[in-house]
Amino acid sequence: MDRERLIDEVLMLLPVLGRGLGRPGPRELGEIAERGIPVDAHISPGHVQVLIALGRGPHSIRQLAGVVGVSSPAVTQLVNHLEEHKMVERRHDPSDRRVVLVDYAPGMQDIARRMMEGRRRRLREAVNSLTDEEARAFLKGLRLLVESFDGAKEEAAHGPHR
């Protein structure tokens, strides 16, 4: 396949994928606004990754950094932003008071869970139409694409490897 055409196709499909997964609906936006969270608050992909990770339970900053794939200081900035908007909160781990855990703020877990359930359902329906081989190839392709972005950032920061 012609690489330029492939790039154009991917660029055209990414917004469609985002629309397919959906944006928060009026009910979800209303719940968010009721919590005092500005519905136009800038939420980056990194913020979304943190919120998705918290769906599996509270995490330390170090754990979140590993899940999101960035440094602990970068996750701290993401968490600070989410905390400012009352989406998450920090608390001490009851089993080890030296460890600070990040978790959804009260009431936010139900909102986030409903938002993610809708997106998971739409994605599951789309992926279920693929064969196992196609699904594995799709995931592998996405991972390779993400890795190539990370490699490009590294090269830009440190110069090309020789």
Segment 45-97, tens digit of pLDDT: 788 888 888 988 999 999 999 988 889 999 999 999 999 888 899 999 999 98
pLDDT of 161 > 60? The answer is no
The per-residue pLDDT of the chain, averaged, comes to 79
Q: Which CATH architecture has domain 3-129?
A: Orthogonal Bundle (1.10)
Q: Which residue has the higher pLDDT, 22 or 114?
A: 114
pLDDT of residue 14: 66
pLDDT of residue 108: 85
pTM above 0.75, yes or no: no
**Arithmetic mean of pLDDT, 40-48:** 73
The answer to whether the CB of 68 falls within 8 A of the CB of 46 is yes
**Arithmetic mean of pLDDT, 12-29:** 65
Angstrom CA distances, 88 to 8, 25, 55, 107, stand at 37, 21, 11, 10
Q: Transcribe 26-84 into DSSP letters.
A: HHHHHHHHHTT--TT----HHHHHHHHHHTT--EEHHHHHHHHTS-HHHHHHHHHHHHH
Of 25-34, 43-52, 82-91, 121-130, where does mean pLDDT reach its minimum? 25-34
Q: Where residue 162 falls among pLDDT bands split at 50, 70, 90?
A: very low
Q: Which residue has the higher pLDDT, 54 or 111?
A: 54
